Amino acid sequence: MREVVLDTSFILIAVKQKVDFFEKIENEGFKCIIPLQVFKELKNLGARLALKIILKNKFYILNIKGKDADEAILKYAKKNPNAIIATMDQGLIKKLKNRKMIIRKIKKIEII
């Protein structure tokens, strides 16, 4: 099964723009992975709607080693080169060699 790792920025922007990212990602045949660091960031930010969506759906929360979410995602991407990273973080996008999933301004999710 193909995997997509969700970053905090992707989740927050999807929720803000009312993009049903879980349904779209699941319909494309992806397993949704959220690093534990991302889940903790969402809790610290008080992103209740995002947390509700995560807990309601089939997201896999993984404890990936790393001091923060970006480091964990980069480590996961390096070990799993076929994984797609869903992020809107420009700094993270520049560091990734994997394919990336982003949200365009027209509420459309694209893999680049």
Long-range contacts of 108-112, Cβ-Cβ distance < 8 Å, separation of 24 or more: 109/14, 109/19, 109/21, 109/24, 109/25, 111/84
Q: Which long-range contacts (CB under 8 A, 24 or more apart) does 75-81 make?
A: 76/5, 76/33, 76/35, 77/5, 80/3
Residue pair 38/69 in contact by the 8 Å Cβ criterion: yes
List the one residue out of 52, 6, 48, 7 whose CA is nearest residue 25: 6
Which domains are assigned to the chain? 2-111 (3.40.50.1010)
pLDDT of the residue at 101: 76
Bridge partners of 13? none
CB 42 within 8 A of CB 50: yes
Q: What is the mean pLDDT of residues 32-54?
A: 96
Residue pLDDT, tens place only, 51-69: 999 999 989 999 999 999 9
Percent of the residues in the chain that have a pLDDT greater than 70, as a whole number: 96
How confident is the model at residue 107, as a pLDDT?
Answer: 65
Q: Provide the whole-model pTM.
A: 0.89
| Mean of per-residue pLDDT scores for the chain | 90
Cα(36)–Cα(23) distance, rounded to whole angstroms? 21
Cβ atoms of residues 35 and 72 within 8 Å: yes
Poorest-pLDDT segment among 2-11, 45-54, 76-85, 96-105:
96-105
Judged against a pLDDT cut of 80, whether residue 93 lies above it is answered with yes
